[in-house]
């Protein structure tokens, strides 16, 4: 071995060259700052054509600037969602405290699978999980959980526990015997289909319960469906309720669902299904649980207080569920991946436990310190706990209350402004979250009346199709006519989550996510719509 070459390599890549790292990081920060002066969106057009044709790598060892240069065009070409004009989805800017946490994590690169590979980082995970559990379940004795790669995986943990509850030993001998099913609402996220498919119960056995106009699961239909399934001899592994649907922020009645699953399972002498709340989007409502509505320290308007009050009552339902999915990387303004799967009672994780002989290189393992004994993943990054605790400590409970309430306030303002226009109809007027889904029809059309007719099923199919294509066409027209420097970017959904008579409702969508978005942005959305039609 050539000792000089080896030394050169280790000096360059395996020391912590502080000066070079700081220099490169400053350059990247400068690029981010420069991006702030440009309209959001594609800073640089994509070049997929040769991404596969020319995946060349350097032959000779280089330095850290080669690393920088290799990624820079893609870094520059990637929007960091730092613009206050991004309103299209549940994706927003990550906060700076989270950045501090994430960078600290990268410097140590802990592996959260076992205690010995991550030392105090594991403690940080326990702390972060407990902090989130206290916020969500409110009073809980033995919460436990883990950070995962995303909401999809967090939901998957819940599905797996449910299957093991009603079909014990499936982990070892696979699914056998009577049909196993899981239930969600029609507005649930598609990740539930993913888990049904991947866990082997099959997407056909994931049953969607229709929603009410507010995009919440219809409890009468849940109850009837459960009776029917038990009568057919099916085993109901889980009900995954949604707290904050992805498009319209519909909220399932968690306590109501709890009462029904208990009652119906008892009537059929069945094992109670695992009740999980997919709060990937809606969990931040829990920041408002302790907000004193009387003192109203943040000076919320009466209308906002009313919405916050409703959200608080809905969030009390979390106390009745077995487990929950939260995505800190969505409404928590944290970095990816920051999803957590949390159980209300620690012993429920026993359904996932591996035998120690199955994980030979963790022979000393204790599941309280070594999540590898029950996690889907083996190696797990520490980014979640680091970015979460840094964010929670930096922004604080009051800070999160202010930010969460502000997003709701902006959504309410836009809803009220749109609802005043004859040719517009807000489809989720009553839901208290940060998202607005709405129709814009050509001037002269009575959007509210058309909505009523669609819901009542009295509108001829051809008219409905015409109106729906007008909604889409006007959206595209706006897309083409906006001034990207000042106009917000909105998105379009082909089904907002409520399906009257089984008909998916297309809608324009605006999600308030950026704390710097303000009333001026709303003014421009509304005046733009008035000019459009």
Ligand X SMILES: *Cc1c(COP(=O)(O)O)cnc(C)c1O
Query: Which residue in the set 280, 365, 471, 507 belongs to the binding site for ligand X (CB under 6 A)?
Result: 280
Shortest Cβ 392–ligand X spacing (Å): 19
Query: Which residue in the set 281, 286, 311, 529 belongs to the binding site for ligand X (CB under 6 A)?
Result: 281
At 396, list the tokens: 């604080």
Which residue, 147 or 439, has its beta carbon nearer to ligand X?
A: 147
Site for ligand X in 180-199 (CB under 6 A): 189, 191
Binding mask 227-246 for ligand X (x = CB under 6 A): ---------------x---x
Shortest Cβ 220–ligand X spacing (Å): 23
Separation between Cα atoms, residue 332 and residue 153, nearest integer Å: 18
Shortest Cβ 123–ligand X spacing (Å): 25
Which residue, 365 or 408, has its beta carbon nearer to ligand X?
A: 408
Separation between Cα atoms, residue 300 and residue 408, nearest integer Å: 11
Separation between Cα atoms, residue 487 and residue 86, nearest integer Å: 9
Window contacting ligand X (CB under 6 A); options: 39-47, 71-79, 202-210, 275-283 = 275-283
Shortest Cβ 31–ligand X spacing (Å): 27
Query: Which residue in the set 252, 278, 470, 487 belongs to the binding site for ligand X (CB under 6 A)?
Result: 278
Long-range Cβ contact pairs of 13-22 (< 8 A, separation 24 or more): 13/64, 16/107, 17/64, 20/63, 20/64, 20/65, 21/64
Site for ligand X in 92-121 (CB under 6 A): none
Shortest Cβ 124–ligand X spacing (Å): 21
Window contacting ligand X (CB under 6 A); options: 60-68, 101-109, 208-216, 278-286 = 278-286
Binding mask 32-71 for ligand X (x = CB under 6 A): ----------------------------------------
Return the closest-CA partner of residue 336 out of 262, 265, 386, 396. Answer: 386
Helix H or strand E segment including 242: strand 235-242
Peptide bond into 337 cis (omega under 30): yes
Q: In which order are the strands placed within the sheet that holds 507-511? A: 424-426, 435-440, 507-511, 491-493
147: which strand partners?
Answer: 340
Window contacting ligand X (CB under 6 A); options: 273-281, 426-434, 479-487, 519-527 = 273-281
Which residue, 149 or 532, has its beta carbon nearer to ligand X?
A: 149
Which residue, 115 or 327, has its beta carbon nearer to ligand X?
A: 327
Binding mask 127-166 for ligand X (x = CB under 6 A): -----------------------xxx--------------
> Crossing angle, helix 96-108 and helix 383-419, to 10 degrees?
160
Instruction: Name the pairing type of β-strands 206-209 and 274-279.
Output: unpaired
At 8, list the tokens: 């050169």
Shortest Cβ 189–ligand X spacing (Å): 3
Separation between Cα atoms, residue 425 and residue 449, nearest integer Å: 9
252 binds ligand X (CB under 6 A): no
Which residue, 84 or 247, has its beta carbon nearer to ligand X?
A: 247
Which residue, 191 or 387, has its beta carbon nearer to ligand X?
A: 191
Shortest Cβ 42–ligand X spacing (Å): 22
Which residue, 68 or 91, has its beta carbon nearer to ligand X?
A: 91
Which residue, 115 or 278, has its beta carbon nearer to ligand X?
A: 278
Closest CB to ligand X: residue number:
151
Shortest Cβ 327–ligand X spacing (Å): 5
Site for ligand X in 315-374 (CB under 6 A): 327, 339
Separation between Cα atoms, residue 330 and residue 346, nearest integer Å: 26
3-state secondary structure 108-142: HCCECCCHHHHCHHHHHHHHHHHHHHHHHHCCCCE
Return the closest-CA partner of residue 137 out of 392, 323, 278. Answer: 323
Shortest Cβ 339–ligand X spacing (Å): 5
At 191, list the tokens: 């990740």
Shortest Cβ 495–ligand X spacing (Å): 14
Separation between Cα atoms, residue 369 and residue 365, nearest integer Å: 7
3-state secondary structure 149-217: CCHHHHHHHHHHHHHHHHCCCHHHHCCCCCCEEEEEECCCCCHHHHHHHHCCCCHHHEEEECECCCCCE
**DSSP reduced 3-state for 76:** helix
Question: Under rule CB under 6 A, how many of the chain's residues touch ligand X?
Answer: 13
Question: Which residues lie near ligand X (CB under 6 A)?
Answer: 90, 150-152, 189, 191, 242, 246, 278, 280-281, 327, 339
């Amino acid at each position: 071995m050539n000792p000089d070459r080896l030394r050169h390599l280790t000096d360059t890549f395996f020391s912590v060259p502080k000066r070079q790292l700081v220099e490169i990081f400053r350059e990247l920060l400068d690029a981010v700052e420069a991006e702030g002066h440009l309209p959001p969106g594609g800073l640089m057009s994509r070049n997929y054509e040769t991404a596969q044709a020319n995946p060349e790598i350097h032959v000779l060892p280089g330095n850290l600037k080669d690393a920088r240069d290799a990624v820079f065009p893609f870094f520059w070409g990637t929007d960091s969602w730092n613009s206050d004009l991004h309103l299209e989805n549940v994706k927003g800017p990550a906060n700076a405290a989270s950045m501090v946490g994430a960078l600290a994590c990268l410097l140590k690169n802990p592996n959260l699978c076992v205690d010995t590979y991550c030392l105090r980082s594991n403690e940080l995970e326990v702390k972060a999980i407990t902090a989130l559990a206290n916020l969500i379940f409110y009073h809980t004795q033995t919460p436990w959980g883990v950070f995962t790669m995303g909401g999809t995986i967090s939901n998957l943990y819940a599905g797996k526990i449910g299957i093991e509850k009603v079909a014990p030993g499936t982990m070892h001998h696979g699914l056998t015997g009577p049909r196993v099913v899981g239930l969600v609402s029609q507005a649930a996220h598609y990740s539930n289909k993913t888990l049904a498919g991947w866990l082997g119960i099959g997407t056909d056995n994931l049953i969607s319960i229709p929603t009410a106009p507010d995009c919440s699961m219809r409890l009468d239909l849940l109850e009837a469906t459960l009776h029917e399934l038990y009568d057919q001899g099916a085993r109901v592994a889980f009900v995954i309720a949604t707290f904050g649907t992805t498009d319209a922020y519909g909220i399932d009645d968690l306590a109501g669902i709890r009462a029904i699953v208990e009652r119906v399972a008892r009537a059929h002498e069945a094992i109670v299904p695992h009740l999980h709340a997919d709060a990937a989007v809606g969990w931040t409502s829990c920041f408002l649980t302790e907000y004193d509505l009387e003192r109203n320290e943040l000076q919320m308007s009466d209308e906002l207080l009313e919405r916050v009050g409703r959200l608080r009552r809905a969030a009390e339902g979390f106390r009745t569920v077995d487990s929950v999915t939260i995505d800190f990387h969505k409404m928590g303004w944290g970095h990816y991946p920051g999803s957590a799967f949390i159980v209300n009672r620690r012993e429920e994780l026993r359904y996932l436990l591996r035998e120690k002989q199955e994980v030979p290189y963790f022979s000393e393992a204790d599941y309280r310190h070594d999540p590898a004994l029950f996690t889907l993943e083996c190696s797990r990054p520490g980014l979640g706990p680091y970015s979460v605790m840094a964010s929670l400590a930096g922004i604080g409970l009051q800070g999160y209350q202010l930010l969460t309430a502000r997003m709701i306030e902006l959504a309410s303002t836009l809803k009220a402004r749109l609802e005043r226009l004859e040719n517009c109809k807000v489809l989720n007027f009553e839901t208290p979250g940060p998202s607005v889904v709405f129709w814009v029809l050509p001037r002269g059309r009575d959007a509210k009346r058309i909505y009523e007719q669609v819901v009542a099923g009295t509108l001829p199919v051809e008219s409905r199709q015409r109106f729906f294509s007008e909604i889409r066409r006007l959206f595209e027209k706006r897309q083409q006519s906006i001034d990207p420097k000042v106009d917000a970017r909105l998105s379009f959904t082909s089904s907002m989550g409520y399906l009257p008579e089984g008909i998916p409702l297309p809608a324009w969508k605006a999600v308030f996510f950026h704390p710097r978005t303000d009333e001026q942005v709303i003014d421009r959305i509304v005046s733009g719509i008035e000019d459009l039609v």
